[in-house]
């Protein structure tokens, strides 16, 4: 799935994963094409697992539909409805695939087999899901480290007696 591929790419490129700390808070600032541009600008390697793979799969399935209609000899009009997030990459892929030799390509069984094989590769779950590992390593461990230092400082303040001095002064000031 897409999440599995993105998690794998984030695990493979940890520098991009560290950038997720600040990017998480800015994720809702961008919509549609601006969203794709934001993620591909700051996460060029791992964003392909989402935007590139989905765009390629949409383009491949579109070409399959066109080829099916071309093989049947039916002339039809197709309307492809896309989110603006995927519009530019899909149109670029379709333009590259369906050039002036499109009728010959759509009639070629080798071309269609190549398209089906590539679509199968994109939908294949060949990598394990690294999402739980990413969450533990990049969220769980930092929280545990912060908790350790907090408890260590609290313990040191209590052992040194400064804890009682600090909180007894604030209690006396309130009275």
Task: Report mean pLDDT in 10-residue bins for the chain, 175 residues.
Answer: 77 84 82 85 85 86 84 79 88 85 80 83 74 86 93 86 69 56
Distance in angstroms (rounded) separating the CA atoms of residues 96 and 63 = 11
pTM of the model: 0.69
């Amino acid at each position: 799935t897409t999440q599995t591929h993105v998690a794998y790419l984030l695990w493979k490129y940890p520098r991009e994963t560290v950038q997720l700390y600040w990017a998480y808070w800015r994720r809702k600032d961008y919509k549609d094409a601006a969203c794709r541009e934001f993620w591909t600008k700051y996460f060029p390697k791992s964003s392909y697992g989402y935007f590139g793979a989905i765009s390629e799969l949409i383009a491949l399935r579109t070409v399959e539909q066109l080829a099916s209609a071309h093989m049947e000899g039916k002339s039809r009009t197709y309307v492809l409805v896309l989110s603006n997030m995927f519009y530019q990459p899909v149109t670029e892929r379709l333009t590259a695939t369906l050039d002036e030799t499109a009728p010959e390509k759509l009639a070629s069984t080798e071309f269609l087999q190549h398209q089906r094989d590539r679509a199968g590769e994109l939908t294949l779950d060949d990598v394990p899901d690294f999402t739980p590992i990413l969450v533990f390593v990049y969220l769980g461990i930092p929280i545990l480290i912060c908790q350790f230092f907090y408890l260590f400082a609290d313990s040191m303040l209590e052992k040194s007696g400064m804890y009682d001095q600090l909180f007894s002064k604030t209690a006396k000031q309130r009275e």
